[in-house]
Structure 1
């Protein structure tokens, strides 16, 4: 089980919230637990689930805008 804290930052757009929400919606296709916060989202699951979720987030966002994504990954319990 791993955890990822991820933040998306769409660039050169006035629709940042829409891009972020669309990217977050893509997580429904993956068996990953997601806790959405005001500045970042915490993903938890198996290695494969979390990596697939991160790729999905980035791919969905980059299809709509240039984007920066910041991720912290941990395999620590707690």
Structure 2
């Protein structure tokens, strides 16, 4: 199991909340635990599923935003 904290920052868009929410919707049924916070989303699960979610989030957000920054912190700690 691994976990990560992900923050997505769409730039040059009027609808950043929509970009973020649509990106989060794209990982809804990926088989991971996902907890959305006010400034970050926490994802945990099997490594291959978590990595897939990170990629899916990036692809979904970058398709809807001219510029995008995404910050990811990954941990293999079980706590």
Q: TM-score, normalised by structure 2?
A: 0.96
1: CA distance, partners of 2:74 / 2:35: 15
Q: Residue 38 of structure 1 aligns with which residue?
A: 38
What is the CA distance between 1:29 and its match in structure 2?
A: 3.6
Report the counterpart of residue 68 of structure 1 in structure 2. Answer: 69
Question: Counterpart in 1 of 2:14?
Answer: 14
For these two proteins, the number of residue pairs brought into alignment is 78
- Let me know the Cα RMSD of the aligned residues: 0.7
Unpaired runs of 5+ residues, structure 2, are none
* Superposed displacement of residue 30, structure 1: 1.0
Deviations 1:10-62 (A, max 9, x none): 01011000000000000124111100000000000000010000000000000
2:24 equivalent in structure 1 = 24
After the TM superposition, which segments of 4 or more aligned residues of structure 1 sit over 6 Å from their partners? none
* TM-score scaled by length of structure 1: 0.97
**Residue segments in structure 1 that go unaligned for 5+ positions in a row:** none
